[in-house]
């Protein structure tokens, strides 16, 4: 019989409890146990950033965090960024500024970008690029991602709300 540990974490504002093997990664807890498939599995070595979520407000690569380490902590995933049927100003900016192509990296890039804007609501281009160094995008070349993050910073500073998906 496999040993398990009980963990309770708050995910997107909702308390969740699960029994997991001690070796279970946070990315697998989110995807396999709780069905939050917006957190993507990329390299599974912490290099690509596709699995980036926020833990207590800071960006973390969920393939590098054990689920047990999330016990008692606040986790935010892409599913919790905006109410269902709406887009957060960051998501809206990515759409309008063509900050995504295939979209595989997008949830991780958005979660990293939102963590940046909490720390620095008016980042320079260099600061945005530095904050996204841990997120690999093979499609866009980052130019439009940086433009989208800059636009989102402006929208968030002026208090824009989530908008309905058109």
Per residue in 2-45, pLDDT (tens digit) is 899 999 999 999 999 999 999 999 999 999 999 999 999 999 99
What's the CA gap between 81 and 76, in Å, rounded? Answer: 8
Report CA-CA distances (Å) from 20 to 17, 51, 100, 146: 10, 19, 34, 38
In the chain, the domains with their CATH numbers are 5-78 (3.10.20.30), 86-159 (1.10.150.120)
What mean pLDDT do residues 78-91 have? 96
Per residue in 96-155, pLDDT (tens digit) is 999 999 999 999 999 999 999 999 999 999 999 999 999 999 988 899 999 999 999 999
What's the CA gap between 52 and 106, in Å, rounded? Answer: 10
The predicted model scores a pTM of 0.95
């Amino acid at each position: 019989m496999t040993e398990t540990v009980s963990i309770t974490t708050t995910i997107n504002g909702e308390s969740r409890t699960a029994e997991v093997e001690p070796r279970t990664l946070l990315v697998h807890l989110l995807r396999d146990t709780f069905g939050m498939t917006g957190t993507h599995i990329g390299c599974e070595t912490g290099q690509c950033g596709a699995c980036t979520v926020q833990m207590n407000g800071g960006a973390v690569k969920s393939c590098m965090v054990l689920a047990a380490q999330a016990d008692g902590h606040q986790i935010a995933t892409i599913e919790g960024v905006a109410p269902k049927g709406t887009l957060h100003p960051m998501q809206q900016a990515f759409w309008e500024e063509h900050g995504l192509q295939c979209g595989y990296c997008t949830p991780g890039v958005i979660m990293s970008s939102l963590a940046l804007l909490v720390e620095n609501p008016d980042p320079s281009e260099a600061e945005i690029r530095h904050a996204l160094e841990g997120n690999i995008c093979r499609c866009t070349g980052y130019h439009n991602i940086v433009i989208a993050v800059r636009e989102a910073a402006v929208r968030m500073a002026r208090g824009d709300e989530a908008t309905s998906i058109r």
